[in-house]
Amino acid sequence: MGQKRMSLTSFVWLLRSKEKNMGALFTKDTQAIFWNNNASAIQRMLDYDYVINRVKPSVAAIVAPTSGNKFEKFFYGADEIMVPVFRNTVEAAAAFPKADVLLNFASFRTAYDVTMEAITIKGQFKTVMVTAEGIPERLARKMNQAARDAGVVVIGPATVGGIAPGGFKIANVGGTIENIINSKLHRAGSCGLVTRSGGLFNELSNIISINADGIAEGVAIGGDRFVGSVFIDNLLRMESNPEVKYMVLLGEVGGTEEYKVIEAVKSGLIKKPIIAWCIGTIAKHFSSGVQFGHAGASANADAETAAFKNTAMAEAGMFVPASFNDLPKTISDVYTKLRNEGIVTEIVEPELKTVPKVRRKKEFICTISDDRGDEATYAGYPISSVATPETGFGIGDVISLLWFKKRYPKWATDYLETVIKTVADHGPAVSGAHNAKVTARAGKDVISSLVTGLLTIGPRFGGAIDDAARYFKYANDRGMTPAEFIDYMKKEGKTISGIGHRIKSVRNPDLRVSGLKKYAAEHFPSTPLLDFALEVEKLTTSKKDNLILNVDGTIGILMVDMWRALGYSESDIDGFIEAGALNAFFVVGRSIGFIGHILDEKRLGMPMYRHPTDDILYNVEMADEI
């Protein structure tokens, strides 16, 4: 048939491709970020993980831009696990820097943008799988080139993915767990398999399992005309993978990618045996070109026909059967020869777990404490290890464990305790204490009386802690000056939470605030938000001397400074604020005071309370008749 000698450009291309594709594509430690919440595909991956005894689930996170969920539950064996959900790939990658595979299940309208974004996250993704079919060819070529330039392997578009048996599998490749085990995809064999078709990938995996010992690695490169990693990329990688002893290549009518493999074999870049076949030989019986199932499955020249390529591969020294029906025998012959030569050795079958047939979803989730076993725990710490004074744990430590699932350093837990002590009480005249006292005097129990006091906590009583943190942080995050912040709040028609006091002023400072500022100055690593707030205070007190930074504002602002110093992300801190964590400190602290007032009323035996009429402005007019 007389193939042309390889050009210098082609030879350089092959060498570069070999350099970029060294080693196995996936291992048992590989983790993926799954773009789009395809629940059935994710569950199949996790079932596979469970069966092969993976330590870590292969799906680290899900990206679902339209989802409001923070996590999704999936089964891992009989139990359930929580997979976190993110709104974008950047956030997911930041949370899981070791997840180096992106499984792009976006539609063909979105898949290009998702892949391009993933490629630009430097040092994150080694492999991107694109399942979408029909990405515009101009965009596909641009995407594939960008991936090559970045050293990222793209599998697809229009693919089911790939598998490293016994290590990692992509989504639905291999089919059901039963089919995976029957096809020996639960552990590594000795064959490297590369196809275009996903359906034929599964079929060939089964054929190889029957006639040999299964596959060590397999990739379905995808059916679109322009795919990311082509045959030669994957075969060169398998050539350098010591687990792969021989390879099976299933090409098809259309395109010229098989000729790069031919040149690699001729030049000695590939030395391992290759069993090869191009499907679509029936096309020669049609009078005109026929478009088969894949976008790339159409011959535009003689060299692109299946028959022509099969002949060329045979001439290059590959093992090419007479027909597809003869492929199983060819695989068996090559495998047997390698076994006899000692290149392929006996594989010890691993112990496998069985996925339960019946699994029940849990109705509740708890991530802070566990009452199973001999002793209950707080975020992993047995209660006995935190409860008594000699343990060194205080109430601030317990709060950090149960509220934030972290053990904070002493300066931070001491601050939490300082906050609780600071807000414990502010006398009987405030609304919450007044309510609690009135209810206690009505003969109600401690809990009922406490609740009436707690119900007053909100925007006008105690709630300024949340809002002060929220608005001062908002201004600081956006680089506003103190004057710009004051103007912003004025335009929003809102008073500045955390600024102002009914009694205290510049000349009569609130010593609680002074104490908090002193503690922060001595123990906090830095207080940038407090510094900003104090600059705001200078402007507000220049207008009226009681527009000081009050205790609620100081507590909320220093909480933000504390969390920043502890390494939380800005989104984490925003989440704490939106969840009401800051007001929770006021609730805990003020409950101490409310209970004190309630017990005081009980101790004094105070009678039923009735408000004096001379303290009420009555303005009652005769009702109009209708």
How much is the average pLDDT of 343-354? 96
- Domain boundaries in the chain? 8-340, 431-604
Residue 403 has pLDDT above 50, yes or no: yes
Residue 2 has pLDDT above 80, yes or no: no
Residue 4 has pLDDT above 50, yes or no: no
CA–CA distance, 553 with 510 (Å, rounded to integer): 12
User: Is-catalytic flag, 285?
Assistant: no
Show the beta-strand stretches assigned E in 274-315. Answer: 274-279
Q: Which fold has domain 8-340?
A: Rossmann fold (3.40.50)
Summarised one tens digit per residue, pLDDT across range 97-113 is 999 999 999 999 999 99
Summarised one tens digit per residue, pLDDT across range 427-484 is 999 999 999 999 999 999 999 999 999 999 887 787 789 999 999 999 999 999 999 9
Residues 52 and 116 sit within 8 Å (Cβ to Cβ): no
What share of the chain has pLDDT > 70, as a percent? Answer: 93
CA–CA distance, 64 with 142 (Å, rounded to integer): 25
How much is the average pLDDT of 514-527? 97
CA–CA distance, 519 with 279 (Å, rounded to integer): 76
Residue 523 has pLDDT above 70, yes or no: yes
Q: What is the mean pLDDT of the chain?
A: 93
Same fold, 8-340 and 431-604: no
SS3 128: strand
CA–CA distance, 217 with 303 (Å, rounded to integer): 29
- Confidence tier at 286 by pLDDT (50, 70, 90): low
CA–CA distance, 604 with 598 (Å, rounded to integer): 10
Q: Which of 294, 426, 597, 611 is catalytic?
A: 294
Asked if CATH classification 3.40.50.2300 holds for the domain at 431-604, the reply, yes or no, is: no
